[in-house]
């Protein structure tokens, strides 16, 4: 219950796109269970409020905040508000992201730019404004949520901007990690594979299939070596390890949470 005791955790993208557990929502709740004071941020205030309600119900500490992770002013205001509320930031969890379908020929320039902003600029901005705060307290752990799409090509599912952004996110993480390694700051990636979050029903089923959520879930399950997708708690427990001091010598790397999917050949 005390793995994050005394720490302030800013979770960006702390809501969930539908009913149930998204990755950021599970992370925020788990961090609070482990003693963190959580600053739960989402573009949709109602989603951040729902996460706060769940944390408060369990007796945890949480403040909800509305911000758009792709807008510098909004992110800067978010960091200032967190510092005003809690006086520090020890953990920054970047969950904002999502794919857009299309290969390099089909994808429009507008979709490319928006998707890169969504998945990569969002993390750049939060690091840009959070790092100076973390350096002041002499310690900090940044956990960026990437995707195996940033490491491997998913046959039949072109998502070129997402792959580029999530791959870029891993390099952004390393650049931040190494620049501040001797200042007490760490940065790592959690790299989920196919996860059964509300996103699958709300968006992926229609973006990459015929809108039949059950069929999409079954086909994603079948792609996994275990026969089942992972879930938001798998991402949350991996994030908890990277956020906590238990991982104090883990820096600039990836923790792949995919049930072995990327280890498979063929």
Q: What burial class does residue 74 get, using C-beta atoms within 10 Å of its C-beta: 0-12 exposed, 13-18 middle, 19+ buried? A: middle
Site for ligand NAD in 52-91 (CB under 6 A): 67-70
State the maximum Cα–Cα separation within the chain, in Å, rounded to a whole number. Answer: 51
Q: How far is CA 176 from CA 70, 99, 140, 179, in A?
A: 19, 24, 12, 5
Beta bridge partners of 140: 185
Of the candidates 86, 129, 153, 162, the residue annotated as catalytic is 162
For ligand NAD, what does the binding mask look like between residues 184 and 213, x meaning CB under 6 A?
--------x-xx-xxx--------------
What CA–CA distance (Å, rounded) separates 168 from 162? 10
Q: What is the DSSP string of 17-85?
A: SSSS--HHHHHHHHHHHTTPEEEEEESSHHHHHHHHHHHHHTT-EEEEEE--TT-HHHHHHHHHHHHHH
Q: Which helix (H) or strand (E) holds 143?
A: strand 140-145
**Which of residues 18 and 184 has its CB atom nearest to ligand NAD in the complex?**
18
Using rule CB under 6 A, residue 97 touches ligand NAD = yes
Asked if 96 touches ligand NAD (CB under 6 A), the answer is yes
147 binds ligand NAD (CB under 6 A): yes
Which of the ranges 17-25, 124-132, 181-189, 248-256 carries the binding residues for ligand NAD, by CB under 6 A?
A: 17-25
Active site residue 162: yes
Q: How far apart are CA 93 and CA 126, in angstroms?
A: 9
Q: CA-to-CA distance for 27 and 13, rounded, in angstroms?
A: 10
36 vs 67, beta carbon nearer ligand NAD: 67
* Among 4, 8, 23, 159, contact with ligand NAD (rule: CB under 6 A): 23
Among 8, 9, 22, 168, binds ligand NAD (CB under 6 A): 22
Closest distance of CB 105 from ligand NAD, Å = 23
Candidate segments 8-16, 128-136, 153-161, 239-247, binder of ligand NAD by CB under 6 A: 8-16
Distance CA 65, CA 38 (A): 11
Q: How big is the site for ligand NAD, counted in residues (CB under 6 A)?
A: 28
Query: Taking CB positions, which residue lies at the least distance from ligand NAD?
Result: 97
Q: Which is nearer to ligand NAD, 48 or 177 (CB)?
A: 48
The verdict on 240 binding ligand NAD (CB under 6 A) reads no
* Residue 234 DSSP label: H
Residues 103-142 that bind ligand NAD (CB under 6 A): 122
Query: From CA 106, how far away is CA 155, in angstroms rounded?
Result: 16
Given a contact cutoff of 8 angstroms between Cβ atoms, the answer to whether 143 and 24 are in contact is no
Q: Report, in Å, the least distance between residue 147 CB and ligand NAD.
A: 4
- Active centre residues (catalytic): 162
Interface with ligand NAD by CB under 6 A: which residues?
Answer: 13, 15-17, 22-24, 42-44, 47, 67-70, 95-98, 122, 145, 147, 192, 194-195, 197-199
């Amino acid at each position: 219950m005390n793995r994050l005791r005394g720490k302030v955790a800013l979770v960006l993208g702390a809501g969930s796109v539908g009913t149930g557990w998204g990755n950021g929502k599970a992370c925020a709740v788990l961090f609070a269970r482990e003693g963190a004071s959580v600053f739960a941020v989402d573009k949709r205030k109602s989603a951040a409020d729902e996460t706060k309600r769940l944390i408060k119900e369990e007796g945890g500490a949480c403040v909800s905040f509305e911000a758009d992770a792709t807008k510098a002013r909004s992110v800067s205001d978010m960091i200032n508000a967190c510092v005003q509320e809690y006086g520090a930031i020890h953990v920054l969890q970047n969950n904002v992201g999502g794919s857009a379908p299309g290969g390099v020929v089909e994808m429009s320039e507008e979709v490319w730019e928006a998707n890169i902003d969504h998945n990569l600029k969002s993390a750049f901005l939060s690091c840009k404004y959070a790092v100076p705060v973390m350096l002041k307290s002499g310690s900090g752990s940044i956990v960026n949520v990437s995707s195996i799409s940033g490491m491997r090509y998913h046959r039949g599912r072109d998502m070129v901007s997402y792959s580029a952004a999530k791959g870029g996110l891993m390099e952004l993480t390393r650049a931040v990690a190494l620049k501040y390694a001797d200042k007490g700051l760490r940065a790592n990636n959690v790299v989920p594979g196919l996860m059964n979050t509300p996103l699958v029903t709300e968006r992926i089923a229609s973006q990459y299939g015929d809108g039949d959520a059950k069929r999409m879930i079954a086909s994603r399950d079948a792609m996994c070596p275990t026969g089942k997708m992972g879930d938001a708690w798998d991402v949350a427990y991996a994030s908890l390890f990277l956020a906590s001091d238990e991982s104090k010598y883990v820096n600039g790397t990836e923790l792949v949470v995919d049930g072995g999917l990327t280890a498979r050949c063929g």
